[in-house]
Structure 1
């Protein structure tokens, strides 16, 4: 899975240096083309968030985990990525994170938005980072590692609770996290 993340990172880097290819629509290029297009449209901070998340692909799951050295749980993964890439210190816990930012309808999702699911028979018990094209990256339950999945799969569609967009100004106004420049 780390190889997959390295390939995505290389594709994104090349796409950023090559510029816009007018010959083919992103949809015709499959996930890589769509993800590259999404990366080009995302702001530089969100590009860093996405690249940081992808670089951690394959990191083992650990309940309560907060670092690549020890492993991650879902909120530890999101917290670590946003701290490293966007200098935001989020709370640990999917439910606590779900209180931050702005609620986003599913049809307005953008790369870097947070997606929340009911995986423990409790609302907002799981969180991941939306990548684009219906996919998100997350730290799944025990036995897995940080992975990319399709949120349109029946399992995730049935459990979807909502999405949030973290914006430094909005988050700072909410006073729930430390957001330093």
Structure 2
């Protein structure tokens, strides 16, 4: 089970990417997708899962309507739904009762609120501020200078925030990747590990994080459809570029990254976490790059339709295509 981001206050300072547990299977892929599409690492799968539990208990019933006429698993009122609505599941309608539509809209709204919280300068955990904004409206957060007190609205928002922050740990699974050390390679691997579960988007992403991709020459397509143009994510080289930025400003493509680091080759028996691993076609063209994750594994963005993952080095790409490793 793969999660999109490290749980914690900041992805770059954490040490392990966590899996997601205890979530109904119909919700899990949408939670991971919503997290991957948000540029704020504070939005984690566990946070979204705990919020869905608090909102509706993961209800998929069309009878899930609150006293305030909030509807669906993520409990959207009409005004907010009009802003964040989307037909994420592609069934021809944007419906707050559809799991995919609701969870994706929840992620977009929370992502926007996290941005508001960061820009506000308010002295509190930005996750708490965003949750309060989701429940009471951002205006209430600004009015009170933080999470509204227990005296506001019979304590509903106050306890909403407390409950979700406590429940988050119930949805955090075991670590997928522990990264020790303090060198540039370990730091880069830690940063990349924060993006485990992010979708692959051909041509997407860069130093600032995941981004929408594009299609060309047969790349980025799924069953004849250009998936890259609607996917927010990384391709193999943008993930590596993002991981090392700004400490080492690597170029954008795998071939260019190999050229920029080839003067520092690393034998397979001397690999360290964060070393760059390359694969090439028979003509010598470098077509893929990943980061050594220790224990004979590689962290990489494999191809369209997949996600950033950690796999055995020999199974990442055809073993015969392995070109070698370098150190940035």
Work out whether the TM-score is over 0.5: yes
Which stretches of structure 1, 4 residues or longer, exceed 4 Å deviation after superposition? 3-6, 119-122
SS in structure 2 of the partner of residue 115 of structure 1:
strand
Deviation per CA, 1:25-70: give whole Å up to 9, x if none.
Answer: xxxxxxx8xx75xx44x43433321211111001111111113243
The gaps in structure 1 that reach 5 residues or longer are: 12-31, 167-181
Deviation (angstroms), 1:5:
5.5
Equivalent residues in 2 for 1:49-64, closer than 5 Å: 49-64=188-203
Cα gap change, 1:119 to 1:147, in 2 (>3 Å): farther
Structure number with the bigger relative contact order (C-alpha 8 A, sep ≥ 6) is 1
Query: CA-atom RMSD, angstroms?
Result: 3.0
Cα gap change, 1:107 to 1:5, in 2 (>3 Å): farther
Kindly name which structure, 1 or 2, has the bigger radius of gyration based on alpha carbons: 2
Question: In 1, Cα distance between the equivalents of 2:182 and 2:15?
Answer: 16
Deviation (angstroms), 1:154:
8.3
Paired residue for 2:15? 9
Question: In 1, Cα distance between the equivalents of 2:187 and 2:317?
Answer: 29
Deviation (angstroms), 1:79:
0.5
Deviation (angstroms), 1:121:
6.7
Cα gap change, 1:138 to 1:121, in 2 (>3 Å): farther
1:45 aligns with 2:46: no
Question: In 2, Cα distance between the equivalents of 1:110 and 1:69?
Answer: 28
Query: TM-score, normalized by length of structure 1?
Result: 0.66
Deviation per CA, 1:84-118: give whole Å up to 9, x if none.
Answer: 5xx22211110100012301111111111000012
Question: In 2, Cα distance between the equivalents of 1:58 and 1:149?
Answer: 13
1:73 aligns with 2:74: no
Query: TM-score, normalized by length of structure 2?
Result: 0.38
Equivalent residues in 2 for 1:8-157, closer than 5 Å: 9-10=15-16, 39-40=179-180, 42-66=181-205, 67-70=209-212, 71-83=233-245, 87-101=247-261, 102-118=264-280, 123-153=285-315, 155-157=317-319
Question: In 2, Cα distance between the equivalents of 1:63 and 1:10?
Answer: 26
The gaps in structure 2 that reach 5 residues or longer are: 8-13, 18-174, 213-232
Paired residue for 1:173? none
Cα gap change, 1:3 to 1:145, in 2 (>3 Å): closer
SS in structure 1 of the partner of residue 242 of structure 2:
helix
- Give the count of matched residue pairs: 141
